[in-house]
Structure 1
Amino acid sequence: MLAGFLDAIFNGISIGAVLLIAALGLAIVFGLMGVINMAHGELMMLGAYTTFVVQNFSKQLGGLWFESYIFFALIFAFLITAIVGLFLEQGVVRYLYNRPLETLLATWGVSLILQQFVRSVNWVLVIGVALFCLLFFGGLWILNSRANFGRVRNWIVTVILLLSLGVTIAVSNFLSATYQLAVTQPWFGAQNVDVTAPGWLRGGMSLGGVQLPFARLFIIALTVICVVGIYLFLQRSNWGLRIRAVTQNRSMSACLGIPTQKVDAMTFALGSGLAGVAGCAISLLGSVGPNTGQNYIIDTFMVVVVGGVGNLVGSIVAALAIGTVNFLIGSGTLALLLTPVQPLADLFTFFATTSMARVMVFALIIAFLQWKPAGIFPQKGRTVDV
């Protein structure tokens, strides 16, 4: 009985670690800008696919390269998703600040685009996306470096967008017709792909009758490193000080000379990069598919809301609590422990499946938010009091 309970606690903590590493980036972005980024799950999915690509490349090299590929995958997953997040902030989110409904719908649309992109991506699509980004964002950079165009600026942006789309479509059609690039199969397709962990991450160790898989231990250690790194960045660096200042009072920070737009862009890129790291960790637990991010986005938002928007300690407590309670209920461990109290044991036996356990956790969270609507550790600052 005790070994089974400890095993359930460990599995719950490992699930909480996955939720926490997924929620870190969202907590920073949501806490700073109030942006409900529905594409956060798809950024995790991109990080998982980046791990798959790095794994395949390292397999060709073999030996030590394959055994250490996970560290390169973490770096590339962070960089690629950070760049995608930066483009998302510059091209979409920046124009929708203080408009939460429009931001939610726009990022939800981006999430659908990213899902379909992964299903259909081939050389023509990659070249087209790169060309469009070069033309559109290059045009915006040139436009922003010139004088203020006043009322006609939005029209100029529209013209740049249409010209970029036109040139991209023309070039893609030319490549498809001339070099037959589009006839190749998509890189990934709609089916799930498997990530093979290095040899030293397979298997596990036994401690007091509890089996501890190396992959989950690695994820817990990675989560601790990410939490400590984010804490040191926010508390000890100049940019971390700027982020905390903008989080507490944006208007006063702008008056003091803090470049709030650069802070927003860097914070969004940082949060997106952390989503990529979470995707890399998730890829070690099972197969990866276009819908991988959708399996985690709701739980990730729950962690942020329950912990307190923008609060790092609250996110840690909420992630571990939600992960542990979810597994205790879903695995039937809680029902087994409550066997002496038959009515409660019957109740938790009814919810002893993964889907039903999530329903009960949702109900518990709703009840908790009725008591503490601002979360475990509510945000503090002058803007909160207004």
Structure 2
Amino acid sequence: MSAFANQLPIGLSIGAVLLLIALGLTFTFGQMGVINMAHGEFIMAGAYTAFLLGDLVPALPAAFLVAGTMGLILERAAIRHFYGRPLDTLLLTWGVSLVLQQLARDLFGAPNVQVPAPAWLSGGVGILPYNRLFIMGLAVAGVVAVWAYLTRTRLGRRTQAVVQNRRLAATSGIDTGRVDMLTFFVGSGLAGVAGVALTLIGPVGPALGTYYIVDAFLVVVAGGLGQLRGAVLAAAGLGLLNSYAEFWSDASLAKVIVLAAVIAFLQVRPQGMFVLRSRALT
């Protein structure tokens, strides 16, 4: 029973990391129709930023800026030419992800590296280690920040207008190109923060992002495209399911179980947990 209980913080921390990753994908994939396979490499960039700095506190804003800038460059240089063509964005960003992985191997080497956790994260409260609690706190802070940005700022309201109806927003005078740039910057930056969080769980390597990107897409789809609350619930559910499935079997079989569970859920609710409500002319 103690081993079973110990899986709870592991599952919640995995769900917290998936949530940080999915917050960015919720808009780039769920609302803008861009399948960004290079999102995983922004996670890797954030993790290597923490490795270079060696200190968790300055690594968080630095990773946000590094990964956000990478996303901004990708959007301006390539993705903006492929809006409305999701399959083309998939192929494009998949190629970019391979290039970034090879670049990481050239810069840091192929073997994984370990980022030491700060001393103040050693220990824990009951079955909850401080490092896992810190990751959950990051996810909560990320959700609150995204919610506040979308509902309390002018740029956030413009973002919601664009993702709900891009053409109507453009005819209303909103600079959709600027909104796209900002969306990619924030979403990619959150992936970088997730990369820093992952350094508290395990080693860092060039292929780090590939282990989480598919699960993050599953979170977005299961939660409902563009739905923040759906992403929160789906991330927690998939994190716990993956943790306990791996406890009962192994890592490979756990991935199969998670995928099968999502497919079964989508057979019942193909639109996900929540649906974006909008008015339509009838």
TM-score of the pair, normalised by structure 1: 0.71
- Contact map agreement 2:50 2:56 (CA 8 A) in 1: yes
Distance, in Å, in 1 between the alignment partners of 2:5 and 2:159 is: 39
- In structure 2, what is the equivalent of residue 353 of structure 1? 250
* Structure 1 residue identity aligned to 2:86: P
Cα offset for 1:4?
Answer: 4.2
- In structure 2, what is the equivalent of residue 197 of structure 1? 117
- In structure 2, what is the equivalent of residue 324 of structure 1? 240
Cα offset for 1:327?
Answer: 1.4
Aligned counterparts, 1:160-199, within 5 A: 188-199=108-119
Distance, in Å, in 2 between the alignment partners of 1:260 and 1:355 is: 42
Aligned counterparts, 1:260-299, within 5 A: 260-299=176-215
Aligned counterparts, 1:108-257, within 5 A: 108-121=94-107, 188-206=108-126, 211-257=127-173
Rg: which structure is higher? 1
Distance, in Å, in 2 between the alignment partners of 1:88 and 1:253 is: 23
Give a deviation string over 1:83-114, Cα, whole Å, max 9, x none: 11110000010111111111110000000010
Q: Helix, strand or coil: the match of 1:304? A: helix
- Contact map agreement 2:219 2:238 (CA 8 A) in 1: yes
Aligned counterparts, 1:3-18, within 5 A: 3-18=2-17
Give a deviation string over 1:246-286, Cα, whole Å, max 9, x none: 11111111111010010011101110000100001011111
Distance, in Å, in 2 between the alignment partners of 1:52 and 1:329 is: 30
- Contact map agreement 1:32 1:243 (CA 8 A) in 2: no
Give a deviation string over 1:119-143, Cα, whole Å, max 9, x none: 113xxxxxxxxxxxxxxxxxxxxxx
Cα offset for 1:234?
Answer: 0.5
Cα offset for 1:21?
Answer: 1.2
Cα offset for 1:203?
Answer: 2.7
- Contact map agreement 2:111 2:205 (CA 8 A) in 1: yes
Change in CA separation of 1:19 and 1:73 when aligned onto 2, cut-off 3 Å = same
Distance, in Å, in 2 between the alignment partners of 1:25 and 1:19 is: 10
* Structure 2 residue identity aligned to 1:366: I
Distance, in Å, in 1 between the alignment partners of 2:222 and 2:40 is: 18
Q: Helix, strand or coil: the match of 2:128? A: strand
- In structure 2, what is the equivalent of residue 105 of structure 1? 91
Size of the aligned set, in residue pairs, is 282
Distance, in Å, in 2 between the alignment partners of 1:190 and 1:244 is: 41
The correspondence for 1:374, drawn from 263, 271, 281, is: 271
- Contact map agreement 1:248 1:382 (CA 8 A) in 2: no
What RMSD in Å do the two structures reach over aligned CA positions?
A: 1.5
Matched, 1:39 2:38: yes
- Contact map agreement 2:9 2:132 (CA 8 A) in 1: no
- In structure 2, what is the equivalent of residue 60 of structure 1? none
- In structure 1, what is the equivalent of residue 262 of structure 2? 365
Cα offset for 1:10?
Answer: 2.6
- Contact map agreement 1:248 1:380 (CA 8 A) in 2: no
Cα offset for 1:382?
Answer: 5.0
* Structure 2 residue identity aligned to 1:239: L
The correspondence for 1:94, drawn from 80, 95, 98, is: 80
Q: Helix, strand or coil: the match of 2:61? A: helix
Matched, 1:19 2:18: yes
Distance, in Å, in 2 between the alignment partners of 1:318 and 1:220 is: 15
Aligned counterparts, 1:301-320, within 5 A: 301-320=217-236
The correspondence for 2:62, drawn from 39, 57, 76, is: 76
- Contact map agreement 1:249 1:382 (CA 8 A) in 2: no
TM-score of the pair, normalised by structure 2: 0.96
Distance, in Å, in 2 between the alignment partners of 1:291 and 1:80 is: 18
Cα offset for 1:381?
Answer: 2.8
Distance, in Å, in 1 between the alignment partners of 2:164 and 2:40 is: 26
Distance, in Å, in 2 between the alignment partners of 1:329 and 1:231 is: 31
Distance, in Å, in 1 between the alignment partners of 2:163 and 2:142 is: 20
Q: Helix, strand or coil: the match of 1:194? A: coil
Give a deviation string over 1:349-374, Cα, whole Å, max 9, x none: xxx22211221121111111111111
Q: Give the percent of matched residue pairs that are identical in Structure 1 and Structure 2.
A: 51
Where do 5+ consecutive residues of structure 1 fail to align? 56-68, 122-187, 333-351
Where do 5+ consecutive residues of structure 2 fail to align? none
Distance, in Å, in 1 between the alignment partners of 2:215 and 2:246 is: 15
Distance, in Å, in 2 between the alignment partners of 1:359 and 1:372 is: 20
